[in-house]
Amino acid sequence: DAMVIQNPRYQVTQFGKPVTLSCSQTLNHNVMYWYQQKSSQAPKLLFHYYDKDFNNEADTPDNFQSRRPNTSFCFLDIRSPGLGDAAMYLCATSIGQGITDTQYFGPGTRLTVL
Amino acid sequence: SQQGEEDPQALSIQEGENATMNCSYKTSINNLQWYRQNSGRGLVHLILIRSNEREKHSGRLRVTLDTSKKSSSLLITASRAADTASYFCATDDGRQGGSEKLVFGKGTKLTVNP
């Protein structure tokens, strides 16, 4: 089945230790997104790629970076995780930017910072 | 900035009852979408309603949209325990031709008691 896969599902890191979260998709979608979702809050868009074009949200901290080496894979790098970065990180994809395009989400990676 | 606001924040009902959740937004839109999130999981797209539509059905789901009031409602009929989840509305930014970005509300946490 075509899907969005996130690995790992649970990630524990230490304060200040770089961590990378990964996302892959078999949908061949053009757009890939990374969201941060804290407990009982709305998913917050960090950045997205339209093909290779990177689009950063204005309020995304510099501590967060992303790579998309090919259509299928996208990575979220947190250079120096702080306690406030503990959250669920959701990857999503969409075909494009049409007004009827919906987003397909992965199961998320829950990040714990010790 | 957050576009959608769901109401109520939490809703607890008995199995078989109907559940109604509301969403208000601030600016013009091309479409409004509803997503569901089971605890600790990714979001699943439920239904999309375009700005020129007033009502849409999908199985036990009924969505209405009132662009004059900038509001939408999601009705789940004959609820089941398996409907227990958080429900989020999401809107685009109204740009002509569509936008690959969505802004999510904080969600309504629905509990359906057996």
Answer with the residue of higher pLDDT: A34 or B30.
A34
pLDDT reported for residue A40: 85
CATH topology of domain A4-104: Immunoglobulin-like (2.60.40)
A68-98: pLDDT as tens digits: 999 999 999 999 999 999 999 999 999 887 7
Which CATH number belongs to the domain containing residue B73 in this structure?
Answer: 2.60.40.10
Give me the domain span that covers residue B31: 5-113
Q: What is the pLDDT of residues B60-112, one digit of tens each?
A: 999 999 999 999 999 999 999 999 999 999 988 766 555 667 888 889 999 99
Average pLDDT, integer, range A36-46? 92
Residue A2 pLDDT greater than 70, yes or no = no
Number of domains making up chain B:
1
Structure tokens at A91: 């990857």
What pLDDT does B3 receive?
62
From A43, A99, A106, residue closest to B31, measured CB to CB: A99
Half-sphere exposure of A106 (CA within 13 A, CB side): 29
CA dihedral A46→A89→B3→B84, nearest 10 degrees, is 170
Mean pLDDT of A49-72: 93
Structural domain boundaries in chain A? 4-104
| CA dihedral for A38, A40, A46, A47, sign (positive or negative) | positive
Chain B residues inside the 8 Å CB shell of A108:
40-42
Measure the CA–CA gap between B34 and B28, rounded to whole angstroms.
17
Contact B89, B34 (CB under 8 A): yes
Question: Is the model more confident about A1 or about B13?
Answer: B13
> With an 8 Å Cβ cutoff, are A101 and B100 in contact?
yes
Chain A residue numbers with beta carbons less than 8 Å from the beta carbon of B105 are: 42
CB–CB contact A97 B98 (8 Å): yes
Q: How long a stretch of residues is chain B?
A: 114
* Closest among B15, B35, B30 to B85, alpha carbons compared: B35
